């Protein structure tokens, strides 16, 4: 176990974590403001990735692809909110789960219909490809480093938006008391559409950014969606700060667990059983982490006590 | 409009009549479809006890379905390879006997439901949905990385397990077993609904605070419901594995948990016959729409959306003209 390997894995964990944060931030905002549990958030991630792959294929520009991803996902989010989601705000959680599960089916099969079952590929732009050497002699891919930077920038932007702008004040007010801010003359249904589109846009951006290091395919959103759920449950539903810390925790636990748990078990087990036990445990590590957090604090690290 | 009791008789008669008709005209595949519907209905009857009566929206019931499946897979695997199962220093023989497998599947799922329920019921609402989902994923990834029993590829069983006095390889006889278990589970469900336990559980779903003031513990009521629910779903998992003679991690997948909820909601949440009607309709749609287009999930999605938005109470609600209990 050299220092370089550990540093590289920590960076990988951070990169995974900030991408999860992009997903989790939207989910937690939507839950916090509208009280809606949105299983279709993973589909918006997929929409972003496909839009980016299509635009990158047509124009060759990665920047345009990112803009397309953001716009397509936000637009899809706004449409879905206006057609389906707004009928569900007052509905019980079961109905929300089902309706958004139905949306997953429609989005996935619709995308399969348009783009086919084969994965698409999104290339890393030339300017960001190749490794860079960090202080301490760590060689790390520039693109992944940019992802960390982009994620942190979005986190900062989101903090600024919610803490320092008028719309942010309305969003926070909406979390606390929706009747009151409606009475004060804020168009609540427009605010809801806006928040939903914002969350969807972030998910789409994450899909496009991650799509360049993985393949773009139908069903890519659901594994990430479930991880994002784990993140917001750990962080406390409705809290953006919680989503950020939860995302980093989950990203680091998952990445470091996968590398170090098998090594750890090798200290006192036969190598092949150690690898097997270690990797089995590593794949469950984040769920174990989540259960531990919930046993300790049933509404998450920064959640409001129910 | 039709009352609930005649509807139950009608639905079960139809589910029995279809495979008998298929037997007469020699269409074994239809019998397999009916068996699949009966098994999915059994799994959903289990979930309906937690979901409909207890109001516990569990998005992780595939855990118990999968545990039942793997209980069957592991026992039958050791029987067919003549290797003993080593566990906690004990050496257990595998078995190909259905009653033993059913017992093990039910007990292990009940135990898992107890553990998961104990942790998950510390939370409520959305947290409960998500923590059950996470437990589902935990088992899913565990099954994938558990290479001793096939890992991601799953485990094939060459010959269907046996039941004394029944030739389970004949489709109609295996169907009869599944149908009998479904009827038994429905009977148990009906008795539970009428029993003091069921009434208390209904109350605990609606107003936990009042239940507490009369001296009952709502969390404990829900935990018992969750355990019974998990045990029945686990039994269905063992049957499902036997139907396909194959178990794989997909039995733990969260899509399956979602589909179980879908079955119930199509049929009617908290209604005795809801899961059965839902499962029959689901299997029919899957077969019929799946034959027309490979994109049949789009139609399933649209139907589901329409039911959620406009037909609260599902099909049973439409047929009986009464909205179901609120969850």
> What average pLDDT is seen over chain A?
88
Residue A271 has pLDDT above 70, yes or no: yes
In a domain? residue A305: no
Whole-number Å distance between alpha carbons of A220 and A214: 9
Question: Among A105, A279, A306, whose Cβ lies nearest the Cβ of B298?
Answer: A105
Mean pLDDT of A87-115: 89
Task: Give me the mean pLDDT over the B258-275 stretch.
Answer: 90
- Closest chain A residue by Cα to residue B123: A298
- The per-residue pLDDT for B63 is 95
For residue range A164-216, list pLDDT tens digits in order: 899 888 888 888 887 888 888 888 888 899 999 999 999 999 999 999 888 89
| Inter-chain CB proximity A291 and B134 less than 8 Å | yes
- Cβ-based neighbour number of residue A216 at 10 Å: 25
Worst-scoring range by mean pLDDT, A68-82, A120-134, B307-321?
A: B307-321
Average pLDDT over residues A207-233: 89
What does the pLDDT read at residue A194? 92
Q: Give the SS3 label for residue B88.
A: coil
Which chain B residue lies closest to A283 (C-alpha atoms)?
B141
A280 contacts in chain B (CB < 8 Å): 141-142, 145-146
Q: Which of B46-60, B215-229, B291-305 has the lowest mean pLDDT?
A: B291-305
Residue B250 banded pLDDT, cuts 50, 70, 90? very high
Give the residue from chain A lying closest to B312, CA to CA.
A95
In the three-class reduction of DSSP (H, G, I as helix; E, B as strand; rest coil), residue B85 is classed as strand
Q: Hey, what are A297's tokens?
A: 């604090």
B262 contacts A226? CB cut-off 8 A: no
**Most confidently predicted of A5-9, A136-140, A151-155:** A151-155
From A109, A288, A290, residue closest to B295, measured CB to CB? A109
Examine residue A10 and state whether it is found in any structural domain, yes or no.
Answer: no
| pLDDT computed for residue B323 by the predictor | 63
B91-139 pLDDT tens trace: 777 888 899 999 999 999 999 999 999 988 988 888 888 889 888 988 9
Dihedral class, residue A36 (left if φ above 0, else alpha if ψ from -120 to 50, else beta): beta
DSSP H or E run through A132: strand A131-134
Total domains in the fold of chain A: 1
| Residue A174 lies inside a defined structural domain of this protein | yes
The answer to whether position A160 is within a domain reads yes
* Cα dihedral value A103, A108, A110, A114, nearest 10: 160
Is B126:A38 a contact under the CB 8 Å cutoff? no
**Alpha-carbon separation of residue B161 from B65, B67, B241, B243 (angstroms):** 18, 17, 10, 10
What confidence score (pLDDT) does residue A304 get? 67
Contact in structure between B326 and A130 (CB atoms under 8 Å): no
Cβ neighbours of B209 (radius 10 Å) = 8
- Per-residue pLDDT reduced to its tens digit, B198-211: 999 999 998 888 99
Enclosing domain of residue A83: 17-296
What SS3 state is found at B162?
A: strand
pLDDT digits (tens, 9 = 90+) for A255-265: 998 888 888 88
| pLDDT exceeds 80 at position B187 | yes
Considering only CB atoms, A92 lies closest to which of B262, B302, B327, namely B327
Is residue A1 situated within a structural domain?
Answer: no
Inter-chain residue contact B147 with A105, CB threshold 8 Å: no
Are B222 and B70 a contacting pair, CB within 8 Å?
A: no
Q: What percent of chain A stands above pLDDT 70?
A: 99
Highest mean pLDDT among A122-126, A129-133, A297-301, B244-248: B244-248
- Find the range with the poorest average confidence among A105-114, A174-183, B28-37: A174-183
Considering only CA atoms, which of B184, B188, B177, B154 is closest in space to residue B239? B177
Q: Which two tokens stand for residue A210?
A: 């991650």
Tokens of A144: 């992944």
By CB atoms closer than 10 A (0-12, 13-18, 19+), residue B1 is exposed
Containing B90, the helix (H) or strand (E) segment is strand B90-92
pLDDT by residue (tens digit) across A27-47? 988 888 888 889 899 999 999
Q: Average pLDDT over chain B, rounded to whole?
A: 89
Least confident of A217-226, B274-283, B313-322: B313-322
- Does the beta carbon of A276 lie under 8 angstroms from any beta carbon of chain B? yes
CA distance A201 to A41: 10
Name every residue whose Cβ is closer than 8 Å to that of residue B6 and which is 6 or more positions away in sequence: none
Percent of chain B with pLDDT over 90: 54
Q: In this complex, is the C-beta atom of A90 within 8 Å of any C-beta atom belonging to chain B?
A: no
B242 close to B63: Cβ distance less than 8 angstroms: no
Q: What is the pLDDT of residue A1?
A: 59
Is the pLDDT at A82 greater than 70? The verdict is: yes
CATH of residue A125:
1.10.3470
Note whether residue A125 is domain-resident: yes
- A11 belongs to a structural domain: no
Mean pLDDT in residue range B20-34: 91
pLDDT the model gives residue B6: 86
- Of A61-70, A180-189, B309-318, which range is least confident? B309-318
Q: Does B302 touch chain A (CB under 8 A)?
A: yes
Provide the chain A residues 7-66 that lie in CB contact (below 8 A) with chain B: 31, 37
Minimal C-alpha gap between B174 and chain A (Å): 32
User: Which helix H or strand E contains A172, and what residues bound it?
Assistant: helix A166-176
Q: For residues B177 and B34, is the Cβ–Cβ distance under 8 A? A: no
A276 vs B258: CB contact, 8 Å cut-off? no
Token digits for B197? 């336990």
B322 vs B290, residue with greater confidence: B290
Predicted TM-score (pTM) of the model is 0.88
Residues of B in contact with A295 (CB under 8 A): 119, 122
Q: Is residue A303 part of a domain?
A: no
Q: What is the pLDDT of residues B169-180, one digit of tens each?
A: 888 999 999 999
Q: Do A102 and B305 touch (CB under 8 A)?
A: yes
pLDDT at B1: 63
For B119, the closest of A92, A99, A295 (CB atoms) is A295
Please report which confidence band the pLDDT of residue A306 belongs to, taking 50, 70 and 90 as the band edges.
very low
Q: What percent of chain B has pLDDT over 70?
A: 98
d(CA B301, CA B314) in angstroms, rounded, equals 15
């Amino acid at each position: 176990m050299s220092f370089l390997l550990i540093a590289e894995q920590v960076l990988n964990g951070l990169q995974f974590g900030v991408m999860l944060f992009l997903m989790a931030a939207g989910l937690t905002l939507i839950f916090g403001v509208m009280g809606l549990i949105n299983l279709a958030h993973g589909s918006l991630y997929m929409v972003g990735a496909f839009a980016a792959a299509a635009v990158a294929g047509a124009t060759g520009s990665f920047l345009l692809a990112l803009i397309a991803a953001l716009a397509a996902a936000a637009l899809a989010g706004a449409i879905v909110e206006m057609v389906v989601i707004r009928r569900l705000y007052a509905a019980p959680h079961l109905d929300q789960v089902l309706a958004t599960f139905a949306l997953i089916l429609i989005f996935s099969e619709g995308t399969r219909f348009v783009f086919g079952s084969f994965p698409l590929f999104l290339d890393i732009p030339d300017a960001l490809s190749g490794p860079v050497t960090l202080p301490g002699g760590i060689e790390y891919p520039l693109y992944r480093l940019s992802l960390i930077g982009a994620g942190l920038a979005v986190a900062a932007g989101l903090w600024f938006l919610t803490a320092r702008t008028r719309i942010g004040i309305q969003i926070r007010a909406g979390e606390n008391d929706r009747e009151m801010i409606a009475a004060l003359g804020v168009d609540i249904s427009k605010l809801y559409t806006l928040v939903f589109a914002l969350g969807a846009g972030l998910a789409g951006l994450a899909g496009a950014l991650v799509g360049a290091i993985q393949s773009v395919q139908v069903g890519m959103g659901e594994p990430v969606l479930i991880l994002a759920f784990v993140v917001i449950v750990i962080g406390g539903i409705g809290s953006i700060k919680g989503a950020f810390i939860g995302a980093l925790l989950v990203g680091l636990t998952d990445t470091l667990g996968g590398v170090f748990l098998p090594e750890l078990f090798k200290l006192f087990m036969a190598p092949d059983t150690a690898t097997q036990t270690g990797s089995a445990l590593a794949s469950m590590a984040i769920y174990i982490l989540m259960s531990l957090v919930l046993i300790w604090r049933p509404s998450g690290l920064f959640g409001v006590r129910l | 409009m039709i009352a609930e009791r005649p509807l139950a008789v009608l639905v079960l008669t139809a589910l029995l009549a279809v495979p008998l008709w298929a037997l007469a005209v020699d269409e074994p595949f239809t019998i397999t479809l009916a068996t699949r519907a009966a098994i999915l209905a059994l799994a959903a009857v289990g979930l309906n006890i937690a979901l409909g009566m207890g109001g516990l929206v569990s998005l992780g019931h595939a855990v118990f379905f999968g545990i039942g499946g793997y209980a069957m897979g592991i026992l039958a695997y050791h029987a067919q390879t003549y290797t003993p199962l080593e566990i906690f220093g004990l050496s257990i023989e595998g078995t190909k006997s259905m009653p033993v497998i059913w017992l093990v599947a039910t007990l292990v799922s009940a135990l898992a439901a107890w553990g998961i329920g104990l942790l998950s019921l510390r939370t409520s609402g959305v947290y409960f949905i998500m923590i059950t989902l996470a437990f589902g994923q935990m088992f899913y990834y565990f099954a994938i990385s558990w290479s001793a029993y096939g890992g991601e590829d799953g485990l094939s069983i060459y010959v269907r397990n046996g039941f004394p006095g029944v030739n389970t390889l004949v489709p109609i006889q295996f169907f009869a077993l599944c149908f009998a278990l479904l009827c038994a589970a429905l009977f148990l469900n009906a008795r539970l609904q009428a029993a003091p336990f069921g009434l208390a559980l209904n109350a605990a779903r609606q107003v936990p605070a009042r239940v507490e003031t009369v001296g009952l513990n709502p969390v404990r009521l829900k935990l018992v419901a969750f355990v019974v629910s998990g045990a029945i779903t686990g039994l269905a998992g063992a049957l499902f594995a036997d139907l396909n003679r194959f178990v794989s991690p997909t039995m733990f997948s969260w899509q399956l948990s979602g589909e179980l909820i879908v079955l119930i909601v199509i049929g009617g949440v908290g209604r005795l016959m809801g899961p059965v009607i839902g499962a029959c309709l689901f299997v029919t749609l899957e077969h019929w729409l799946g034959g027309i287009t490979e994109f049949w999930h789009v139609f399933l999605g649209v139907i589901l959306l329409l039911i959620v938005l406009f037909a609260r109470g599902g099909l049973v609600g439409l047929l009986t003209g009464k909205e179901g209990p609120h969850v």
